């Protein structure tokens, strides 16, 4: 995990970028180093220690030109809770995805978080996990992820717009999305057990754990 000093230095270096724009490919080529995940420049400095402590994986960049003819997640863009680019949900493709809508103020979300945390660690590189933190406080959300040792990335839906877009009455809700970006299943409410979640992974994504 990057030190706090390195993270703050990254923010300073990216201060000239707007809207989380990617680092120049020319600059990357010149140094022959893989591009660093973009840190959004509007982060509250007070949150940086919490972001560092949580150690969340970077938010996924998504495909640059997803096939709009394939129905999938809504074309809505949310900022990253940790570090990384803003995320257009409709562009997150290429690998099976578990999309979990959650909040730190939601007791069922708290109850199921250990199940998601363990699965995300076990299936790293095979299945993407992405949270949507809905109508929450960043500090509370980051603290919850830290408390559970959950390092999969999440985006922030401050207004709760995903409720209407994906017919959600409230969290938690878990969606299963195939590698083409198509929603193939959902579970409303808290996941009751690891065994039940594993059965859903097998049923909807063909992933055995």
Task: Determine the Cα–Cα distance for residues 55 and 205; give it in Å rounded to an integer.
Answer: 27
| Domain ranges (residues) in the chain | 44-205
Which position has the token pair 């680019």?
Answer: 85
Task: Determine the Cα–Cα distance for residues 209 and 19; give it in Å rounded to an integer.
Answer: 38
State which fold the 44-205 domain adopts: Glutaredoxin (3.40.30)
Q: What is the pLDDT along the chain (209 residues), one digit of tens a residue?
A: 433 333 333 333 333 333 333 333 333 333 333 333 344 446 778 889 999 989 999 999 887 776 777 778 999 999 999 999 999 999 999 999 999 999 999 999 999 999 999 999 999 999 999 999 999 999 999 999 999 999 999 999 999 999 999 999 999 999 999 999 999 999 999 999 999 999 999 999 999 98
Look at the pTM and tell me if it is higher than 0.85. Answer: no
β-pair type (128-134, 97-102): parallel
Q: What is the DSSP string of 103-123?
A: -TT-HHHHHHHHHHHHHHHHT
Q: Please say whether the beta carbons of 172 and 112 come within 8 A.
A: yes
């Amino acid at each position: 995990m990057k030190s706090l000093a390195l993270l703050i230095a990254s923010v300073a270096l990216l201060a000239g970028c707007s809207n989380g724009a990617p680092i120049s490919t020319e600059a990357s080529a010149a140094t022959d180093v893989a591009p660093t995940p973009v840190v959004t420049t509007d982060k509250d400095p007070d949150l940086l220690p919490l972001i560092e402590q949580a150690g969340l994986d970077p938010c996924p960049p998504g495909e640059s030109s997803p096939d709009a003819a394939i129905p999938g997640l809504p074309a809505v863009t949310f900022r990253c809770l940790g570090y990384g680019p803003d995320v257009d949900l409709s562009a997150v493709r290429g690998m099976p995805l578990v999309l979990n809508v959650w909040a730190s103020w939601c007791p069922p979300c708290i109850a199921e978080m250990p199940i998601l945390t363990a699965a995300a660690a076990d299936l790293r590189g095979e299945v993407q996990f992405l949270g949507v933190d809905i109508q929450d406080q960043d500090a509370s959300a980051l603290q919850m992820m830290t408390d559970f040792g959950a390092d999969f990335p999440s985006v922030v839906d401050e207004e709760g717009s995903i409720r209407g877009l994906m017919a959600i009455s409230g969290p938690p809700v878990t969606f299963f999305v195939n590698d083409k970006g198509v929603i193939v299943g959902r579970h409303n409410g808290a996941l009751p057990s690891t065994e039940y979640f594993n059965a859903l992974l097998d049923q909807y994504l063909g992933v055995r754990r």
